[in-house]
Amino acid sequence: MRSSQYDILFEPVRIGPVTAKNRFFQVPHCNGMGHRAPSGMAAMRGIKAEGGWAVVCTEVCEIHPSADVSPHSHARLWDDADIPALARAAEAIHRYGALAGVELGHHGFRAQNRTTREVPMGPSSQTVVSYDPVQSRVMDKQDIRDLRRWHRAAALRAKRAGFDVIYVYAAHGLVTPMQFLSRRYNQRTDEYGGSLENRVRLLRELIEETKDAVGDTCAVPVRICVDELIGPSGLCADGEGRDVIEMLADLPDLWDVTVGDWSNDSRPSRFGDEGVHEEYVRFVKQVTGKPVVGNGRFTSPDTMVSQIRRGVLDFIGAARPSIADPFLPRKVELGQMEDIRECIGCNICAAADNTYTPIRCTQNPTMGEEWRRGWHPEKVPPQESEDSILVVGAGPAGLECAVTLGKRGYQVMLAEATEELGGRAVREPRLPGLAVWGRVREYRVEQLHRLANVEVFLASPMTAQDVLDTGANRVVVATGSRWRRDGVARYHRSPMTVLDDRSVFTPDDIMDGTAVSGPVIVYDDDHYYMGGVIAEKLRLQGLEVTLVTPAPLVSAWTVNTLEQTRIQRRLLQIGVRIRANEALVAFQDGEARLACTFTGTVQPQPAKAVIMVTARLQNDTLYDDLMARSDEWEAVGLKAVTRIGDAEAPGTIAAAIFSGHRHARECERTTGQEGVPFLREIPALGSWPS
């Protein structure tokens, strides 16, 4: 059982007319399923409730067609037809005694309305946040009355759907009430603009009218940004952010406090520690008698207790930690701290929403698969045979596969060629800013230590003959991948012909400690985190570094993980030169040649070394050798050889973990079985218009 020091986390807390059974609060977060996959969304939220969260909220819920942010798939309560989908989520949450929350929102001028083709509107005329050639119109008094009416109607629908906690949303710059609060966006001269009291007017009206509509049985919290992190030109904790809370102090039933935009509120671990928001939000409890929830990638129960005891928060809010481990509260309650899958702050979850796909997580491969594959984060099916299984390679895929197979009850041998478990999950966390990512390895190694049916063999490189000699019935090849040094990736689809191989290196070389001399070029045609991290590492060693990329931005894909701006800023601050929209086309005799990706114009760049951050090659020799000897399998009792993770196709650590987990769950399935391997929600056909 848990230590008494954590008892405070399990005290009930009143929120208006309802009571939360403990202090664990899953704040609203996107999931990429929303109105397009309501069963998937409901099952995911239900798992959180089963895991012990006292309050489980939806993502933002559009209240009207003029708030359309498709192709993002958020919740919707446009009209009564949307009630059943949301009711399914509320029902799933209630099944385990949690309060169900819904975050009502209208996106104002940030809504492109691509599907509905409604004209965006806001406090003032603004361009939408994307590059769509669209601009909003100024809301007149009737528009404001309409917005209030839509919000009230959505609140009543939410109550009918069974929700206990019905939000007024004014955070992240995403929604209309926040746009009215902000002097940057609100240039009105009527009673809804100008002074802070006027700019607060719409938010006050929405709170009062929502409480009037549903406040008899439902709690009405406000989610608000208390500091936009842009100084006095915006809301800030020592200025108007505090003033707004003081003006409305006890009007809502709870304050859900956020900081900055989404990239700040869900700050990647590379750029912010656990509890990073405290300095901005700690004033709130000083000026209100209502409970306060905040977030900050809380993963440590000790940090949670500290936040409560010091009067910073009443509830421990979490989005990403609840994704990495939906059973975090239950594990704290039972004293199973070592079983917590800690969030690593990589923001793969955010990337799913930004790429319009169902949510996923590096640490939790079952996230988003609860309904469509029937996966539970804490339960796996028992073994289906007495087969013994050999897993070759203990990187992310191999570790996850071995752990999951072991939990299913199989006899497992895990062979690792090096003297350390983890593969890339032990190497990459030694790079600048990625230390927290080491939790991928730490969690799985801890689980391995408790599985008596899993034998681990270190310093055990395997040949095909070695594998056949083990007598294993099934073999899983998880031998990973290696970075290419020939330039092949997106710009070059075949190897570069003019390269001084003696001075061309890869991230593997840098992680192995190979010394290079400057000036050095980091050529990034991978576009995720590795190019920026390698450039940072070399620059911190004192080398002159130029990062060259065919993309218009450094680490361009990290726009999706909410960190691109910070990565490029950091590199510029430490003196890394950046040459975007250029491709490396040759390198010899101490000179690189860089071609403009638009015109093809070539320019020279002095360099003593080039680091190729391009594509990767599968380490598939063992797999190929085993397949070539398939006629020998039957004699030694070998039934199947499968490759997983980067050995099958190089990808993210999240993809490797998923691959290992999936194989462990499905290892006895017939190869090449027909049909879609997961459930789908199929839209109903409507009638033809008359």
Q: Inform me whether the pLDDT recorded for 578 exceeds 80.
A: yes
Q: Among the options 29, 30, 343, 528, which is catalytic? A: 30
Note if 30 is an active site residue.
Answer: yes
Model pLDDT for residues 452-500, shown as the tens digit of each residue? 999 999 999 999 999 999 999 999 999 999 999 999 999 999 999 999 9
Model pLDDT for residues 366-418, shown as the tens digit of each residue? 999 999 999 999 999 999 999 999 999 999 999 999 999 999 999 999 999 99
Q: Are the C-beta atoms of residues 456 and 448 closer than 8 Å to each other?
A: yes
Residue 232 has a pLDDT of 84
Q: Among the options 172, 277, 492, 661, which is catalytic? A: 172
Q: Inform me whether the pLDDT recorded for 690 exceeds 80.
A: no
Tokens of 407: 């939990």
Fold matches, 4-354 and 388-480+619-666:
no
Q: Among the options 57, 61, 167, 169, which is catalytic? A: 169
Q: Among the options 265, 314, 486, 524, which is catalytic? A: 265
Q: Can you give the length of the chain in residues?
A: 690
Note if 169 is an active site residue.
Answer: yes
Q: Looking at the domain covering 484-616, what would its CATH class be?
A: alpha beta
Model pLDDT for residues 639-676, shown as the tens digit of each residue? 999 999 999 999 999 999 999 999 999 998 865 567 88
In angstroms, how far is the first alpha carbon of the chain from the final one?
A: 65
Note if 236 is an active site residue.
Answer: no
Residue 673 has a pLDDT of 65
Tokens of 663: 């194989």
Q: How far is CA 150 from the centre of its chain?
A: 31
Residue 568 has a pLDDT of 98
Model pLDDT for residues 627-640, shown as the tens digit of each residue? 999 999 999 999 99
Residue 670 has a pLDDT of 61
Model pLDDT for residues 14-70, shown as the tens digit of each residue? 999 999 999 999 999 999 999 999 999 999 999 999 999 999 999 999 999 999 999
Q: Inform me whether the pLDDT recorded for 86 exceeds 80.
A: yes
Q: Phi-psi region for residue 577, left (φ > 0), alpha (ψ -120 to 50) or beta?
A: beta
Average pLDDT over residues 333-341: 96
Q: Are the C-beta atoms of residues 2 and 335 closer than 8 Å to each other?
A: yes
- Second-level CATH architecture of 388-480+619-666: 3-Layer(aba) Sandwich (3.40)
Average pLDDT over residues 204-231: 96
pTM: 0.96
Residue 671 has a pLDDT of 58
Average pLDDT over residues 248-264: 94
Tokens of 121: 């509107």
| Residue found by looking up tokens 């954590």 in the block | 6
- Helices 83-94 and 141-161: angle between axes, nearest 10 degrees: 50
> How many angstroms separate the CA atoms of 99 and 163, rounded?
8
Pseudo-torsion of CA 416, 419, 424, 426, nearest 10°? 130
Residue 589: Cβ-neighbour burial (10 angstroms; 0-12, 13-18, 19+): exposed
Does domain 4-354 match CATH 3.20.20.70? yes
The ranges assigned to domains in the chain are 4-354, 388-480+619-666, 484-616
> How many angstroms separate the CA atoms of 411 and 413, rounded?
7
Average pLDDT over residues 151-163: 98
> How many angstroms separate the CA atoms of 111 and 250, rounded?
31
Tokens of 29: 């977060």
Note if 6 is an active site residue.
Answer: no
Q: What mean pLDDT value characterizes the chain? A: 96
